Structure 1
Amino acid sequence: MPRPPRRTLRPRFDRVDICEAYLVLEWDYNVGGWLHERPSNQRRREATAVQLHRMGFKPHPNLDFSTLTKNGRAIYRELERRYRFNIQRAA
């Protein structure tokens, strides 16, 4: 009997999860300190971290992919697909 298709988690809107996912993505895929694939980084010629700092976002000190919430990991995966990065970690 064939297995049913695997359901993927659709990210939900959560400001902290979004900020954390963008920051971890930049740390994982940056070139010269910033994501060149992200349009707002290209326009401003500055890193996502600079933009998040300006917004007052303060990440916790142990932030990395493993500490993202399930929703944060789903946002991260969606960003990887959007920017056409090779996926580094298993889901």
Structure 2
Amino acid sequence: MPVSSAEYGETGETGYPIEQELEAVVTDTSSAELNRLRTLFAEAGLVLLDFTNGERRVVGSDEFPVQVNTELSGTPATLSLTFKRDSPEPAKVYSSF
């Protein structure tokens, strides 16, 4: 999904909880897009991050899924996608996605 801006951060060491945080903004707030995104994020799952340097990482797993929060605000309206969590595992580099 296209986002207008996003910041992802991860701190911690392997073997200890890894703090993971995402803040992303979506500017397409048409009713069809809002319904699609709210349906998509209604359940916890995996998050695939495409970085500007071409790298791709996956946050979460079937054992440790991610719950993304959504919040509509502002004029013109924007949709914020956020999560902040402690995970036993860091984001993984996957080239097959």
Normalised-by-shorter TM-score class: under 0.3
RCO comparison, higher one (Cα < 8 Å, 6+): 1
TM-score (structure 1 length as normaliser): 0.23
Pick the structure with more helix per residue.
1
Higher strand share: 2
